[in-house]
Amino acid sequence: MAMLQIELPDGSVKEVESGATPYDIASGIGENLARQAVAAQFNGQLIDVSQPLESAGKLKLITQNSPEALEIIRHSSAHLMAQAVKDLYGDDIQVTIGPAIKDGFYYDFYSATKKFVPEDFAVIEKRMAELAKEDLRIVREEISRTDAIKMFREMGEEYKVELIENLDEEKVSIYRQGNFVDLCRGPHIPRTGMLKVFKLTSLAGAYWRGDEKNAMLQRIYATAFQNKKDLKAHLNRLEEARKRDHRKLGRELDLFSFNEDAGSGLVIWHPKGAMLRTVIEDFERKEHLKRGYDIVMGPQILKTELWQISGHYEHYRENMYFTEIDEQSYGIKPMNCLAHMLIYKSKPRSYRNLPLRYFELGTVHRHEKSGVLHGLLRVRAFTQDDAHILCRPDQIDAEVKGVMQFIQDVAGIFGFEYRMELSTRPEKSIGSDADWEQATSALRSALEDSGHPFEINAGDGAFYGPKIDVKLKDALDREWQCATIQCDFTLPDRFDLNYIGADGEKHRPVMLHRVILGSIERFIGILIEHYAGSFPLWLSPVQAIVLNVTDNQAEYAQQVYNQLRAAGVRVELDLRNEKLGFKIREAQMAKIPYMLVIGDREMEEQTVAPRYRDGKNLAAVTAVDFAGFVAEETAKYH
């Protein structure tokens, strides 16, 4: 038997027979290590602890408490949940896929008769616990594609059959645990007894393979952790997220609504929501003007030929809407870049004119599938704070750094931390290798010079260029994709954009596509959840509400309201014949920053008694002084 040299993380080397497993090596070190081992990393690849080693290499054992173990535990928990569901609800259930995801896992099921409800969760969890207690061995097998198709077909698992039929492999791997078998690449933990901390969390619908033409599946979301403390903390975060859900708060605060009579994914802004949006858009215009951007506006529809030239028709048309006017096809814009290029091309440009920075709060329409629409976070019509910077190649570095500074400034104003990713060329793209390399190098250089850490997101660039993506982190430590900077050599070439250089010759400009907040709708949804609806004073659609104690002060209250409104304060007036405590509670529920209480004393002294929404009472001030305070606080963010 051949002997293998296996190097461990501490640099020591174990000599083992060919065919020995990571479990064998763990057992040789200590029984406790063997019991704790959930998987292994061999020459950088994750494998089962039962997988035979056939060559020399570096081995790292992954134990139950290792950071790398969590995803494996969750993936194995998905199989455990599927086994429990099959045990409980029989052959009418078909299993499809069940991956580990951020914060947990899910499994998609098909059933013609069983409709899952949250009340089923306790029953499924109980069966999962029973199967875990049985400490079933989880065994990997490799079988031929033909045998796998035959086996799953005989089991009535037609979705598994379809998955295998679409694999271009002679052999596939399956995992068995007790009476349950699943198609899977692995790796998995060695025994179900290692799964002790799990919780089912929610239900959703999902089309098979994400295609709305296919069957609707039932998705059960769940999570698993290495200990109960982490699970409890996660469930607390989920509960807090439910309280902050922008759809719930949007209704309660009367900000926006959706109406199926109008159409799915189309936002209807109510007065308070429209005011919030106006405040953000006004902020955006001022910030862009300060940084040397010109405000422009393009049409909502452009001839389809333009979308063909740009490549959108070939690469993006399934997300576009089209219409016809006078036998001419038009595309409703999903992006704003085409009109901006036409503005650039409207007259000759010199190298001395560059850079040109065109900014538009441009409304776009995208055909999102019904199943992915989600409040303000995923809609079919939205407005982007879109800008396109046309510059010389030697100006790319400074312009990218300027946008990065803009992003940093705005993130600080709204109270977000963030991280950055460099997304590189996708498989489906346009443009030459040389242009892509130059664009990617330019973005990477700017990131490295900034000193801000970043990760590489391979293959996730736009179809016309690489990009820097910015992931905001909110109050619940969740990440959101908002800002992006895309470097594009290709579209200026396709639209024959040029400028006259210092040498008197024509040269091609580079175009930077960028957004700071991204979709205004989506950003507002994120803000609602980040602040839990309690917006800071400068952002609040209603900054103050005037409350009278009795009808005696109604006339003075109206006078104060008129003064504040004339001074630019966003103020409401509540003169209802209700108890003051009731009116204060309603104002607090509406999350209005300040309640200005007026009783006989305030009326006599010509003041108001401010009360903050957290219940703190402030010293009485005149209406003029309060308006000055609001103006001073608001000015900090403009």
Positions annotated as catalytic residues are 337, 366, 384, 386, 388, 467, 513
Q: What HEC string does 366-409 produce?
A: CCCCHHHCECCCECCEEEEEEEEEEECHHHHHHHHHHHHHHHHH
Strand order of the sheet with strand 294-295?
294-295, 356-365, 381-391, 510-519, 479-488, 467-473, 417-423, 454-457
Amino acid identity at 69: A
φ and ψ at 556, to 5 degrees? -65, -40
Taking a C-beta distance cutoff of 8 angstroms, is the pair 480, 474 a contact? yes
Could you give the residue ranges of the DSSP H alpha helices within 457-541? 490-494, 520-531
The residue written with tokens 């982190």 in the block is: 473
Tokens of 225: 């952790």
Bridge partners of 95, per DSSP, are 109
Buried b (16+ CB within 10 A) or exposed e, 301-322: bbebebbebbbbbebbbeebbe
Amino acid identity at 429: S
Bridge partners of 331, per DSSP, are 302, 322
Tokens of 359: 């900014």
Decide: residue 448, CB within 10 A, 0-12 exposed, 13-18 middle, 19+ buried: exposed
Cα–Cα distance for residue pair 125/223, rounded to 1 Å: 11
**Angle, alpha carbons 174-177-180 (nearest 5°):** 75
Give which of 599, 587, 586, 595 is closest to 549, Cα–Cα. 599
Please name the helix (run of DSSP H) or strand (run of DSSP E) that holds residue 234, with its range, or none: helix 228-244
Q: Does residue 432 sit in helix, strand or coil?
A: coil
